[in-house]
Amino acid sequence: MEDQVDEIKRKTDIVGVIGSYVPLKKMGRHHKGLCPFHSEKTPSFMVNEEMGLYKCFGCGAGGDVIKFLMEIEGIDFREALERLAERAGVKLINRRRDENDERSKMLEVLDLAARYYHWLLMEGKVGAGAREYLAGRKINTKIMETFNLGFAMQSWDGLTNYLIKKKGYKEELLEKVGLVSRKSKGDGVYDKFRGRVMFPLQDAGGKVVGFTGRVLPALAKEDEPKYMNSPETSLYHKSRMLYGFYQAKKAVREKKRVVLVEGQMDCISSFTAGVTETVAVGGTALTEDQVEMMARLADKIYLSMDADEAGSVAIKRSIELAEKRGLSIKIVQLEGGKDPDEIARNSSDKWKDLVEKSVDVYEYIMNGAFKKYDVNKIEGVKKITEEVVPFLAKIENGVVREVWAKRLAERIGVATKGVMAEIDKKISGKQESTNKDDDLEKDVDDKRVVKLSRRLIGQLILRQEAVEMVAPWFTGVKIAGAEGKLISWLLENRENEPVEDLVQKIPEELREVAGESYMAEDSNEVPGQKEVEEAAVQLLREIIRDRKKELMVEMNEARKEKNSEKEDEIFSSLNELNKKESKVIAFLG
Ligand SMILES: [Zn+2]
């Protein structure tokens, strides 16, 4: 498998793949274009052929060609690999051939079933009632096409006749994909979906993996459920399905947000109203897999579900999953209809407006609590705090958490400190930093070191001679982090090989840093000795400064402990550093 991944990557022309989504222009050693993952007017998106990597210096997106396909198409690793394998003419061998064959047979028969249902809806005489029904719900022909809607006629053997008698498929195959059920008496199978408007369930790549059928009101029978889903199969997993994802992908990517609704009709009506970044969970609670799918393309989820008690449980769960994945949640407050379907059908503008006016989830939770309890009474304040604080405690980002704590404090009329104390109580196990200023300062220092390190890495990759220029400066110096490791590695292992070969040699875990650093160097010139040494020495100066700060702290501690031996030791280290620093300063002038 590992070998095959490498083989596929080697045989794939990354510029060609990415170039089919983003116009790329060769600039120096890289190809450059407008980033497809965030909106920008001047290109900061780079692709490098030798490294087999892309990187956006605007939004940070980056990786290899597999990652690109996953992110741009919203598909998983497996699917991305399969597509590239096909493109590169590589046969994936790790899946057994019969398994492969079965999977493609299943997809084939599901696709054919979808076409059959679709034809009945669009052209069939029996589809007239369904067409009328959908027209009544303001679903036009174009939308029917977009979502590949269909109609299953009121018959026990419409589909079976077509697929088995006419097309020659086996009963077992139809059973396996969940289109038919076995007769309880006698032999044979019968159509599972009858008298229903059919919504094909498509995976992120657009392949039909199952169906939802909504009973046509005129044909409804009392003992039949309004909605019926395909059973779970090896192709269709409820927890990994987002209805409409395939159709919404492009808009989701562009707007960086997903409007999440409950049912298929909500999804289609919202889409029809012009909110094309809509997907439906399809009646299940949101799962981690679904959040993962959305997170590949978006950074915000707009929840628009019933805001009743059941709804708020769903919201709680959604917040947890989203926070874990770094997505923010907004709540679309439903007005002017019972669900998004009704609101959007009544007025596209109203629906669009509600989506735009959606409130941040924490605002929403606060509003709910303030509506329920009286903020003018002590008891009310207590209840409000009890309800809201657990949510705020879950916010991962400390700054964001404090912003919301402040808002809550303002609304209650107390100092932020008090609310923060309550939140801290809730956050058990997490050690909060006591001195934020120190942390912040360290953070800024770290960033500078990373930046300087990466510049040097880029030069070491670009010019083999740079190794010799730099090596003397770094004897006995340790640099922290992945960048440090990579610099040490390059100083030891960089030979006179072309960049493509060097990349293959770099340890896997350091390749990303290597690629990003290399691509950050977009000047077309090979750096001269002066430039290289300057980059090295500037980095060295930062490292020495950091190390000195650390040693000072250690020295103070040793002094307090009256550990004179240790004190001496640190003192001599400091002396060494000072000597090195004078050299550095002399060099930099
Ligand atoms: Zn970008």
Distance from residue 41's CA to the centre of ligand 1 (Å): 11
The per-residue pLDDT for 1 is 62
Distance from residue 39's CA to the centre of ligand 1 (Å): 7
Give dist(CA 453, CA 284) in Å, integer: 48
Range 322-342 average pLDDT:
88
**Cα 71–chain centre separation:** 7
**Nearest-CA neighbor of 4 among 92, 108, 72, 113?**
92
Q: Say yes or no to pLDDT of 556 above 60.
A: yes
Distance from residue 40's CA to the centre of ligand 1 (Å): 8
Whole-angstrom CA distances from 557 to 148, 548, 561, 569 are: 71, 14, 6, 13
Tokens of 49: 């052929």
Q: What letter represents residue 199's amino acid? A: F
Distance from residue 43's CA to the centre of ligand 1 (Å): 9
| Maximum Cα interatomic distance, the chain, rounded to a whole number of Å | 97
Range 355-366 average pLDDT:
92
Distance from residue 253's CA to the centre of ligand 1 (Å): 11
Distance from residue 67's CA to the centre of ligand 1 (Å): 14
Percentage, residues of the chain above pLDDT 90: 39
Distance from residue 181's CA to the centre of ligand 1 (Å): 49
Question: 3-state secondary structure string, 121-140?
Answer: HHCCHHHHHHHHHHHHCCCC
Within a 10 A sphere around the Cβ of 45, how many other Cβ atoms? 25
Tens digits of per-residue pLDDT, 121-142? 999 999 999 999 999 999 999 9
Question: 3-state secondary structure string, 211-232?
Answer: EEEEECHHHCCCCCCCEEECCC
Mean pLDDT of the chain: 87
Distance from residue 2's CA to the centre of ligand 1 (Å): 29
SS3 26: strand
The per-residue pLDDT for 168 is 94
Tens digits of per-residue pLDDT, 254-301? 898 999 999 999 999 999 999 999 999 987 778 888 998 898 889 899
**Nearest-CA neighbor of 54 among 72, 40, 81, 42?**
72
**Nearest-CA neighbor of 280 among 229, 323, 216?**
229
**Nearest-CA neighbor of 271 among 292, 250, 297?**
250
The per-residue pLDDT for 550 is 86
Write 94-103 long-range contacts (CB < 8 A, 24+): 94/1, 94/4, 103/234, 103/235
Give dist(CA 189, CA 174) in Å, integer: 9
Helix, strand, coil distribution of the chain in percent, nearest 5: 60, 10, 30
Give dist(CA 279, CA 199) in Å, integer: 13
- Strand bridging mode 150-152 / 180-182: unpaired
Q: Say yes or no to pLDDT of 371 above 50.
A: yes
Q: What letter represents residue 34's amino acid? A: L
Distance from residue 36's CA to the centre of ligand 1 (Å): 6
Distance from residue 333's CA to the centre of ligand 1 (Å): 31
Q: Which helix (H) or strand (E) holds 328?
A: strand 328-331
Distance from residue 331's CA to the centre of ligand 1 (Å): 26
Distance from residue 161's CA to the centre of ligand 1 (Å): 51
Whole-angstrom CA distances from 105 to 42, 83, 417, 427, 444 are: 46, 18, 63, 51, 56
The per-residue pLDDT for 198 is 98
Residue 453 has φ and ψ, to the nearest 5°, of: -60, -45
Q: Which residue shows structure tokens 């994909």?
A: 177
Q: Say yes or no to pLDDT of 356 above 90.
A: yes
Distance from residue 231's CA to the centre of ligand 1 (Å): 39
> What confidence tier does 164 reach under pLDDT thresholds 50, 70, 90?
very high
Within a 10 A sphere around the Cβ of 468, how many other Cβ atoms? 12
Q: Which residue shows structure tokens 């029996």?
A: 126
Range 353-360 average pLDDT:
94
> What confidence tier does 38 reach under pLDDT thresholds 50, 70, 90?
confident
**Nearest-CA neighbor of 566 among 556, 578, 575, 581?**
556
Distance from residue 417's CA to the centre of ligand 1 (Å): 38
- Strand bridging mode 53-56 / 45-48: antiparallel
Inter-residue contact 109 to 177 (CB < 8 Å): yes
Tokens of 447: 């960033």
> What confidence tier does 92 reach under pLDDT thresholds 50, 70, 90?
confident
Range 48-74 average pLDDT:
88
Distance from residue 437's CA to the centre of ligand 1 (Å): 31
DSSP 347-372: -HHHHHHHHHT-EEHHHHHHHHHHHH
> What confidence tier does 434 reach under pLDDT thresholds 50, 70, 90?
very low
Contacts with 555 (C-beta within 8 Å, 6 or more apart), sequence order? 567, 570, 571, 574
Q: Say yes or no to pLDDT of 108 above 70.
A: yes
**Nearest-CA neighbor of 454 among 510, 499, 530, 529?**
510
The per-residue pLDDT for 311 is 53
Tokens of 30: 């890289």
Cβ-based burial of 368 (10 A; exposed 0-12, middle 13-18, buried ≥19) = middle
Distance from residue 57's CA to the centre of ligand 1 (Å): 7
> What confidence tier does 149 reach under pLDDT thresholds 50, 70, 90?
very high
Give dist(CA 230, CA 183) in Å, integer: 17
Distance from residue 77's CA to the centre of ligand 1 (Å): 21
Give dist(CA 197, CA 424) in Å, integer: 52
Distance from residue 71's CA to the centre of ligand 1 (Å): 12
Distance from residue 512's CA to the centre of ligand 1 (Å): 16
Distance from residue 13's CA to the centre of ligand 1 (Å): 21
The per-residue pLDDT for 202 is 96
Cβ-based burial of 397 (10 A; exposed 0-12, middle 13-18, buried ≥19) = exposed
Q: Say yes or no to pLDDT of 566 above 80.
A: yes
The per-residue pLDDT for 499 is 82
Distance from residue 21's CA to the centre of ligand 1 (Å): 14
Give dist(CA 351, CA 421) in Å, integer: 40
Lowest mean pLDDT among 292-301, 422-431, 450-459, 535-544: 422-431
Distance from residue 199's CA to the centre of ligand 1 (Å): 34
Distance from residue 110's CA to the centre of ligand 1 (Å): 37
The per-residue pLDDT for 561 is 86
Range 515-530 average pLDDT:
76
Distance from residue 356's CA to the centre of ligand 1 (Å): 24
Distance from residue 44's CA to the centre of ligand 1 (Å): 7
Give dist(CA 268, CA 143) in Å, integer: 8
Q: Say yes or no to pLDDT of 438 above 60.
A: no
Q: Which helix (H) or strand (E) holds 438?
A: helix 436-462
Distance from residue 296's CA to the centre of ligand 1 (Å): 13
Inter-residue contact 210 to 236 (CB < 8 Å): yes
Inter-residue contact 153 to 126 (CB < 8 Å): yes
Distance from residue 295's CA to the centre of ligand 1 (Å): 15
Q: Say yes or no to pLDDT of 480 above 90.
A: no
Q: Which helix (H) or strand (E) holds 516?
A: helix 508-520
Inter-residue contact 340 to 355 (CB < 8 Å): no
First to last CA, the chain: 54
The per-residue pLDDT for 429 is 44
Inter-residue contact 54 to 18 (CB < 8 Å): yes
Give dist(CA 27, CA 31) in Å, integer: 6
Distance from residue 60's CA to the centre of ligand 1 (Å): 6
Give dist(CA 269, CA 251) in Å, integer: 16
Within a 10 A sphere around the Cβ of 574, how many other Cβ atoms? 16
Distance from residue 341's CA to the centre of ligand 1 (Å): 34
Distance from residue 240's CA to the centre of ligand 1 (Å): 27
The per-residue pLDDT for 2 is 66
Inter-residue contact 144 to 121 (CB < 8 Å): yes
Q: Which residue shows structure tokens 């596209």?
A: 348
